[in-house]
Amino acid sequence: MHQLHFPKRFEHTHPPVRSVNDIETEQLTLGQRAADRVAAIVGSWRFIGLQSLVLTGWACINVVAWTHHWDPYPFILMNLFLSLQAAYTAPMLMMSQNRMAARDRLEAHNDYLINRKAEEEVRAVLDHLSAQDEALTKIIESLVGTLEAGSRPPGPGAAAPR
């Protein structure tokens, strides 16, 4: 019978896959956490509703106030506060977006590494399946040869069955 050959056993030499969320959380600084928190608060409908109520109340109180207008129309003090809010909020939103972009790059790199590992493992499985195909073909050929040799009619000089 032919010698059967199988590929070497596949060894998993890579470290376990880690969650990008865990990696990213370990690397966050206090400033990045604060920027994310500000972005989460300012980017919510609750904040928009609350800010709308405050601004509407501010304007109504200063228009209707009978004795003391702390910020008469055209509401210069309110504009100052809104400008200050925008001056501090915009950079924090940009910091949060930059961090998210860095996280996306980390996630893409992690996906690339996982795809490379998966491709290597799929290649090993396909090599092993190919070796099994060859082995099965050789075994079947050997069995067919054995069966054919056993079912041949007896040659000359052989005793005939009674």
Asked if the model's pLDDT at residue 116 lies above 80, the reply is yes
Mean pLDDT to the nearest integer, 18-47:
90
Question: Does pTM surpass 0.75?
Answer: no
pLDDT at 14 over 80: no
- Report the alpha-carbon distance of residue 115 to residue 42 in Å, rounded: 37
Two tokens, residue 145: 């040869």
**CB 64, CB 7: distance < 8 Å:** no
| Mean pLDDT (whole number) for 12-32 | 84
Q: Could you give the CA distance from residue 104 to residue 142 in angstroms, rounded to a whole number? A: 57
* Long-range contacts of residues 85-90, Cβ cutoff 8 Å, at least 24 apart: 89/38, 89/42
Residue 74 gets which letter from DSSP? T
Q: What is the mean pLDDT of residues 142-149?
A: 87
- Band (pLDDT 50/70/90 cuts) for residue 153 is low
* Under 8 Å between Cβ of 104 and 111: no
